[in-house]
Amino acid sequence: MTDCCTPKGAYDLAVVGAGSAGFSAAITAAEAGARVALIGDGTIGGTCVNFGCVPSKALIRAVEGLHHARAANRFDGIEAGARVTDWAATVVQKQALVEELRTAKYADVLPRHENIDYIEGRARFGDAGQLTVNGAVFPATKIIVATGSRPHVPTIPGIEQVDALDSTSALELTELPASLLVLGAGYIGVELAQLFARAGVAVTLVSRRGVLPEAEPEVSEALEGYLAEEGIRLARVAGYESVAREGGSMRLTGTGGENFEAERLLLATGRVPNSGGLNLAAAGVETDAQGGITVDAQMRTANPNVWAAGDVTGRDQFVYMAAYGAKLAARNAVSGEGRSYDNSTMPWVVFSDPQVAGVGLSEAQARAAGHEVVTSVLPLDAVPRALAARDTRGLIKLVADARSKRLLGAQILAPEGADSIQTAAMALKAGMTYEELGDTIMPYLTTVEGLKLAAQTFEKDVAALSCCAG
């Protein structure tokens, strides 16, 4: 570790932010021969390993065991049960995994790269546009900003006085509340609402646009029904009037006069870029209305010596896209390459149950882009894997261009759907038609076989096909 105030001469690249994007940029630049300063402020590793992906998915997997036991009676002759006996122990185990991965994938990685100096300090641009760390000018030829994002706090009267939870603090609770209001039904709200409901908490999920509003409407509607079947109360409001603590509970009032009460309130209304304290304007770096740093296809900002990547750009807030964008930024910055960011076949996953996964254009997006669209919607009860598992919750929707039959997008709602979406992503990347996907050999009794069946459904009645019919 290097003292931030006495850098060893000028660096080829300074990377501001020590999360996934920051590490990706620093390692990529170092491998290209650059001398790199990786500047971190706070816990090393960023959001994913510390507060997001790892802790949430660890706890989601933990409560899946509770659900599977309770649902075991869908098989004749089988009964099972499960309950939470020590939630604090579950959380401690989760935290141990976080610390293990933080060490293995971040802290222990740095010594393997001799030309990366890790520097602890607060970076910002000075009034003359130069990079500073803890107030001292920091010499670097090129700069990549990768400062991530934080939970959004909605503007609701009373919100600052009620000690609301966010996606970070909720995953640190060692004692489960009796009831919980979850505000926001995007992927964070859906995942956390189901997690706590399965752990035994009475959950109310309140939103303005419904469950997963960016997903296909067939997917959103079906998932909403499955969440309700698990006892999650779902409510839509036009807006939020106020929130207040009354005795031992929270009261949320909607603009239509609706009232919701619970022991705790969890804010899951998205994430906002960490760009506010960087004095970006002084460096000529522009931001959008939400604070995301504006970059071109090569990840360069309006300042020709500054690039940005990851959540701080406000787009594609997934850890793998942060790493991908940062790698491009580093190559372009230190090697003069002209690599362009391409998210056209970016897969995404919501770790609900059933899982939701997608890639490419939705039907609405495809129509807006000018395509003459044809779609296929296959219910999961047409997929042999789902029938054998006696769990037919879900569907598969494919979107294609009607004239060329080329696939444009796919969304899967299925208990094991997340691991199948990459097949659809590869099909889109290869420019496959739905006929070609329907002719692809896929293993029987797998969820991914549903993609083949959905592709065949464009022009065939799969009910008229025998098992494995090609």
User: Which residue ranges are tagged as binding site for NAD(+)?
Assistant: 184-191, 270
CA-based R_g, the chain, Å: 24
The structure tokens listed for 135 are 């107030």
Nearest to 137 by CA among 49, 47, 37, 64: 37
The encoded tokens of residue 73 equal 């009676």
Structure tokens at 136: 């001292």
CB 56 within 8 A of CB 268: no
Phi, psi angles (nearest 5°) of residue 468? 65, 15
Nearest to 356 by CA among 189, 180, 462, 223: 223
The answer for residues whose C-beta is within 8 angstroms of residue 226's C-beta and 6 or more apart is 353, 354, 393
Annotated binding site: 57, 147-149, 184-191, 270, 311
Instruction: Give the SS3 label for residue 451.
Output: helix
Whether the Cβ atoms of residue 370 and residue 434 lie closer than 8 Å to each other: no
41/440 Cα distance (integer angstroms): 49
Q: What are phi and psi of 35, to 5 degrees?
A: -90, 120
Annotated binding site for FAD: 57, 147-149, 311
- Residue 120's SS3 state is strand
Between CA 256 and CA 239 the distance in angstroms is: 8
Are the C-beta atoms of residues 25 and 140 closer than 8 Å to each other? Answer: no
Q: How far apart are CA 418 and CA 194, in angstroms?
A: 17
Residue 202 is encoded by which pair of tokens?
A: 């009475």
Task: Kindly list the distances between the CA atom of residue 439 and the CA atoms of 332, 421, 434, 460, in Å, as whole numbers in the listed order.
Answer: 40, 18, 9, 12
Q: For the chain, give me the number of helices (H) and strands (E)?
A: 12, 22
